[in-house]
Amino acid sequence: MEFLNDEIYIERVLGGDQQAYAQLVNKYKVMVYTVAFRILRNHEDAEEIVQDAFVKAYQALGGFEKKSKFSTWLHRIVYNASISKTRKKKYEMHSLDEQFIENYSTDEVYENLDQLDHNEQKKLVDVLMNKLDQEERAIISMFYISDHSTDEIAQITGLTQSNVKVRLHRIRGKMQTYLQQQLKNNLNKIQTGS
């Protein structure tokens, strides 16, 4: 489906056309659901947050100042609501154990990764994402999956752009460390025949 510019839909909604808002929902529902799910790791909670965010955005649309894109504004609503929900639920955080740091070169990691089939690679990425806390998952998802710039992520999260860049660097480092350990474990299993 071909979508119009967001500003056209916003003007129509503000003019009383509720169907125009349905177009915005259709345009962004998958993208914001992905952000919510990456933070919450629960389909029902993510769906609830997305529905609430669209209602909240609709109710506040008259006050939308257009300082950022509508999608960025909507992502910020979803991000904040998702983080608030995780704080309320007090999800247990899993941190990486620093003793797993190995001295593989990047080439060795990618060489081993290339030996995995597509499904194994997808499972490994899911495992890596689960090792991150909810804010890290959200930031990495916004950058790589939703294709947001560091400036847009800064607007959504309330962080500075340089802080977003630092966090992205650290998150990639964490994922690299865990990836190296996983590949080492898989190699050990192959060598021992287990």
What is the tens place of the pLDDT at every residue in 124-183?
777 788 888 888 888 988 888 778 899 999 998 889 999 999 999 999 888 888 877 776
Domains in the chain (CATH in brackets) are 6-89 (1.10.1740.10), 98-192 (1.10.10.10)
Q: Which of 142, 174, 178 is nearest to 157 (CA)?
A: 142
Which of helix, strand or coil describes residue 76? helix
Q: Per-residue pLDDT tens for 35-65?
A: 899 888 889 999 999 999 999 999 999 888 8
Which pLDDT score is estimated for 113?
A: 55
55 burial via Cβ count (<10 Å: 0-12, 13-18, 19+):
exposed
